[in-house]
Amino acid sequence: MIITFTIENWMSFKDEVSFSMVASREKQHGHRIPRVKKFPVRILPVTALYGGNASGKSNFFKALEFAKNLVVEGTKPDEMIPVEPFLLDDDCLEKPSRFKFELLINELIYEFSFSVTRDAVVEEKLVEINSTKEKILYSRKGKKYKINVSEKGKRKDFLKYVSEGTDNKQLFLTNSISQNVDKFRLVYNWFRDILTLVGPSTKVGSHYSTNEYISDLMGSMLERLDTGISTLAVEEIKIDQLGRSDVENRRLFKYLENNSDSIIFSKLGCTLNIEGEEAYLTTKRRVALHKKANGTTIKFEIDKESDGSQRVIDLLPMFMQISPSDFNKVYIIDEIDRSLHTLLTRQLLEFYLDNCSEKSRSQLLFTTHDVLLMDQDLLRRDEMWVAERDNEGSSDIVSLGEYKDIRNDKDIRKSYLQGRFGGVPRILLNSSIINQQETD
């Protein structure tokens, strides 16, 4: 779980900005707040980030995306680190961009931080925190390392060898895993397996496209969400029905002959499982079934559904996955309300929150423009954040939990739209501009 995330000198975030999932003392919806026995802390299961266009919401999402990619994928020796500093201040161009995470992993807290320029990793540190003490597992400044793990002999020498062989543009965490050093694998695995980022066009549901159990379960839920879809089905078709060229199909045949009897590839955002059978290939794909007036059903390909229905199909597996209290996943969704009616978005959120408890270890963070979700019957004040850009183009984010004078029964949407919390666009466009132009 994310406890805190701090960024500095990243895109529109010039100064240090800290985001926290630590619950405040407010009691509203307290029954669904996860508790950690070893630490006197409660961690929020959900957070909504509001703000006007160009306020920094998507840049916050991209910061998490950049950090994950740098940890999991790393950089190639001949490539620059794809960091994006604040461009509206020339001094920031030469300064490093900084990122810091506090994470709950297996009931222990880890603090992982790094600062980078396009040319090099400037600093990096990993700290393990338990209920009584903190231990710096390793720290790095440039090429100088301090490694403090219980290794002896050849294993200790090997860690020194790995640190000395880490490229200037590579995180030590990333390189150590590539060299089969397991001491820091829990943190690496969190970024690789637990942290999942979902952009406006990300196809989450495609991973479940040919799973018949998931399709049946999703189908029953889609009907209840008034999408017009009665159920989902999985069908098998010949590969030549996909409109692929003969050259592409011959390459597939050759690959299958040399490697295995199946291969996974992606087409139009859908994951397809191809199997070789005698002289042809087949693939499985998911289709939507709609009821006709006479009670029979008609089949629709998924890409023939509305954008909203496709978005629901993409998001539903995610909500189904993180709802069980024993599941451990962190989803970050940029523009959760894209193409969705506000009541449908709310229903998905309620479905997730109704399953949250003190034992939950999953989290859902999302950005949105949907003010109707800014409802204290749905979210706590500390679960609602606002992003705002100042006159110098620098972004900041603030939790509504910092406003102590907000009553639990207050409708805060009106106050937000009036700009009392910030995070609304300062719109100056009106008809007088056009009239003045015509006069000129």
Q: Which amino acid is at 340?
A: L
pLDDT of 259 strictly over 70: no
Question: Looking at the DSSP assignment, which residues form a beta bridge with residue 231?
Answer: 289
**What value does the mean pLDDT take over residues 295-308?**
85
Average pLDDT for the chain? 84
pLDDT of 345 strictly over 60: yes
What local confidence, expressed as pLDDT, does residue 49 receive? 96
What local confidence, expressed as pLDDT, does residue 60 receive? 97
Low-confidence winner among 171-180, 315-324, 338-347 (lowest mean pLDDT): 315-324
Instruction: Report the predicted TM-score, pTM, of the whole model to 2 decimal places.
Output: 0.83
Confidence of residue 361 (pLDDT cuts 50, 70, 90): very high
Question: Looking at the DSSP assignment, which residues form a beta bridge with residue 19?
Answer: 5
| Residue 186: both structure tokens together | 């829990």
Stronger pLDDT, 16 or 207, i.e. the higher one: 16
For 51, the 3-state DSSP assignment is strand
- Can you list the positions of beta strands (E) in 107-247? 108-116, 121-129, 134-141, 144-147, 195-198, 231-238
Q: What element of type H or E holds 218?
A: helix 212-224
Contact 400, 49 (CB under 8 A): no
Rounded Cα–Cα distance for residues 195 and 288 (Å): 30
Low-confidence winner among 46-55, 231-240, 371-380 (lowest mean pLDDT): 231-240
